[in-house]
Amino acid sequence: MQLKIKKPAPVEKNVFWSPSRVSRAEREKRNKHRGCIIWLTGLSGSGKSTIARELERILFTQGHRVMVLDGDNVRQGINADLGFSQEDRAENIRRIGEVSKLFAENGMITISAFISPYTRDRDRVRGIVREGDFIEAYIKCSLEECERRDTKGLYEKAKAGIIKNFTGISDPYEPPGNPEIVVPTDKQTVAESVQTVIEYLERHNYLRCRQRNKHLTLKQ
């Protein structure tokens, strides 16, 4: 389902869109696959980054154009000014949604790994891209298992009150209602989880563009 999202009007009125002379279809034809966003959402420690990196490695080795945007990384650069309030998380996802859109429209398989705890923020990203470009993958892992893993020691700090607004402990996580993919990482090995995503991509023709692929003939 494509949501209709009203684009926020830019503050500055005197800006003009500059169209590219290279179409998306041309890029995808050269890449031999379509651009898309694989949006990994889930609790901290659920396995988003692990799956993202493994998936990136496999798709790259297969010859695809692929890259990862990861919460912990972008928060050290483009989003270094943002914290973890509801407003800051919304802005984090808004900016990364726009960046992911740019990459996908330029033919990249873009793997975006963010807790993205709020349904509204994820739906907003879905709403700004073309239908089929946004693949929501729910990295599903029980809170108990994430706490048990506690790879970064953050759950311990959150429970001790040292870290505030920590997702799952002192801040909410809204699971997706109707994700394209569910990846139960507390019931699968990493390899099985990655395979779950790859199977979805193959089944829905994301990886191999055929000449008659509907997407390639869409008007740009």
Q: Which of 39, 84, 134, 206 binds ligand ADX (CB under 6 A)?
A: 84
What is the phi-psi region of residue 146: left when phi exceeds 0, alpha when psi lies from -120 to 50, beta otherwise? alpha
Regarding 120 and contact with ligand ADX (CB under 6 A), the answer is no
| 166 counts as binding ligand ADX under rule CB under 6 A | yes
Q: Which two tokens stand for residue 56?
A: 């990136």
Q: For 208, how many CA atoms within 13 A lie in the half-sphere containing its CB?
A: 6
| 173 belongs to the binding site for ligand ADX (CB under 6 A) | no
Helix or strand (DSSP H, E) at 92: helix 86-105
165 makes contact with ligand ADX (CB under 6 A): yes
- Judged by CB under 6 A, the residue of 33, 65, 89, 215 near ligand ADX is 89
Kindly tell me the number of DSSP H helices and DSSP E strands found in the chain: 9, 5
CB atoms within 10 A of CB 148: 12
Segment interacting with ligand ADX (CB under 6 A) among 19-27, 87-95, 101-109, 122-130 = 87-95
Q: Is 117 in the site for ligand ADX (CB under 6 A)?
A: yes
Give me the least distance between CB of 135 and ligand ADX, in Å please. Answer: 17
Q: What residues form DSSP beta bridges with 38?
A: 111, 135
Cα–Cα dist 22/19, whole Å: 9
Question: With binding defined as CB under 6 A, does residue 193 bind ligand ADX?
Answer: no
Q: Indicate which residue of 116, 142, 170, 193 is catalytic.
A: 116
With respect to ligand ADX, which residue has the nearer C-beta, 37 or 209? 37
Residue 100 is among the residues annotated as catalytic for this protein: no
Which residue, 92 or 185, has its beta carbon nearer to ligand ADX? 92
CB of 138 to ligand ADX, least distance (A): 14
- Tokens for 80, please give them: 């270094």
Burial class, 173, CB count within 10 angstroms (exposed 0-12 / middle 13-18 / buried 19+): middle
Binding of ligand ADX by 139 (CB under 6 A) = no
Rounded distance between C-alpha atoms, residue 119 and residue 217, angstroms:
32
Q: What residue ranges bind ligand ADX (CB under 6 A)?
A: 44, 71-72, 75, 84, 89, 92-93, 114-117, 152, 154, 163, 165-167, 171
